[in-house]
Amino acid sequence: HPHSRPRHPRTRTMVPLLLLLLATAHGLEKIQYKPELAVSNLEGRTTASTFVLEQPRCIFKNYSDTEIWLVVAIPSAIPDFNNSLAPGSPERAFQKFPESAHAYMTLGTTFMNYPCNRTPGEITVLRVGSETSCAKDMSRPTCNGPLPGPGPYQVKFLAFNSLTVPLAETEWSEPITLRTGSAAGTLMKSRHSAGMIALTSILSILLAILLAILVAMLVSCGSDTCGSSGTFSKPDMVSVQRYNTHHVYDQPAAQL
């Protein structure tokens, strides 16, 4: 058929588009799973800029061909959250979080890394905020950089297919607040002591200057320089003294 031949390239380009439309029409599946902070009693489950989550093991078993991303958002971004924004897009860049990007996506990985069967001794947690090297690197918008403040933050996992169409999502976690108490305390303490150190050093410098001036005055007065500077007063005093002594001793002599 001459008619069917030109149709082939067209259908080839139509297939991904159709798949995309189908996926969007089908919508996102909501998986009944809420991401949680690591249950093991790890030291530093939350720090001032990181927190540790349980891996979403086995959660995406019906989506084994997808790429699973962690979404970190500020709570105000959740009501009208746009799941269609792809990981690495400017609106989801770590470097712009939380000012112009109200959420970022990081730790993208395949289902293979979140398998159902657990081998003993295996790490089954994720540390969010552990990558400092890319925190300011705009070319790495999916950086797992240190969190910019105490939060609170809410997280979920979102699975995208190869066309970066979201297929499945978990629920949002409870708000996660990072540690501030001790960190702020030590900061204030160190600021306080820094101020004290500055004040003490200024005072001691002032005292040293005063002492130096005093010493300089004493030294210069003991040497000839003080004498030369006092040329106007010393001879006068001497002459007055001489005059006085002369006068005082002269008069009784004259009277006698």
Stretch that binds ligand NAG, among 78-86, 94-102, 108-116, 239-247 (CB under 6 A): 78-86
Question: Does 11 engage in binding with ligand NAG (CB under 6 A)?
Answer: no
Cβ at position 195, least distance to ligand NAG in Å: 49
Q: Are 57 and 67 in contact (CB under 8 A)?
A: no
Stretch that binds ligand NAG, among 77-85, 154-162, 224-232, 248-256 (CB under 6 A): 77-85
Question: Does 85 engage in binding with ligand NAG (CB under 6 A)?
Answer: yes
For the chain, the first-to-last Cα distance in angstroms comes to 161
Q: Are 142 and 106 in contact (CB under 8 A)?
A: yes
Cβ at position 191, least distance to ligand NAG in Å: 43
Helix, strand, coil percentages for the chain (3-state, nearest 5): 40, 15, 45
Q: Out of 84, 100, 200, 244, which residue is the one contacting ligand NAG (CB under 6 A)?
A: 84
The residue (of 52 and 159) whose beta carbon lies closer to ligand NAG is 159
DSSP for 165-194?
-EEEE-PPPPPB----HHHHHHHHHHHHHH
Q: Are 118 and 40 in contact (CB under 8 A)?
A: no
Stretch that binds ligand NAG, among 80-88, 121-129, 149-157, 198-206 (CB under 6 A): 80-88
DSSP letter assigned to residue 153: B
Q: How many residues bind ligand NAG (CB under 6 A)?
A: 4
Cβ at position 149, least distance to ligand NAG in Å: 26
Q: Is the torsion defined by CA of 191, 193, 195, 197 positive or negative?
A: negative
Question: Does 82 engage in binding with ligand NAG (CB under 6 A)?
Answer: yes
- Gap between the Cα atoms of 62 and 159, Å rounded: 11
Which residues in the 35-74 window bind ligand NAG by CB under 6 A?
A: 62
Cβ at position 194, least distance to ligand NAG in Å: 47
Which residues in the 220-249 window bind ligand NAG by CB under 6 A?
A: none
The residue (of 20 and 134) whose beta carbon lies closer to ligand NAG is 20
Question: Does 101 engage in binding with ligand NAG (CB under 6 A)?
Answer: no
Cβ at position 70, least distance to ligand NAG in Å: 19
Q: Which of 33, 40, 49, 83 is nearest to 176 (CA)?
A: 49
Q: Which of 219, 14, 242, 45 is nearest to 125 (CA)?
A: 45
Angle at 115 between CA 109 and CA 119, to 5 degrees: 125
Cβ at position 84, least distance to ligand NAG in Å: 4
The residue (of 91 and 220) whose beta carbon lies closer to ligand NAG is 91
Q: Which of 200, 157, 180 is nearest to 55 (CA)?
A: 157
Cβ at position 62, least distance to ligand NAG in Å: 4
Residues that bind ligand NAG (CB under 6 A): 62, 82, 84-85
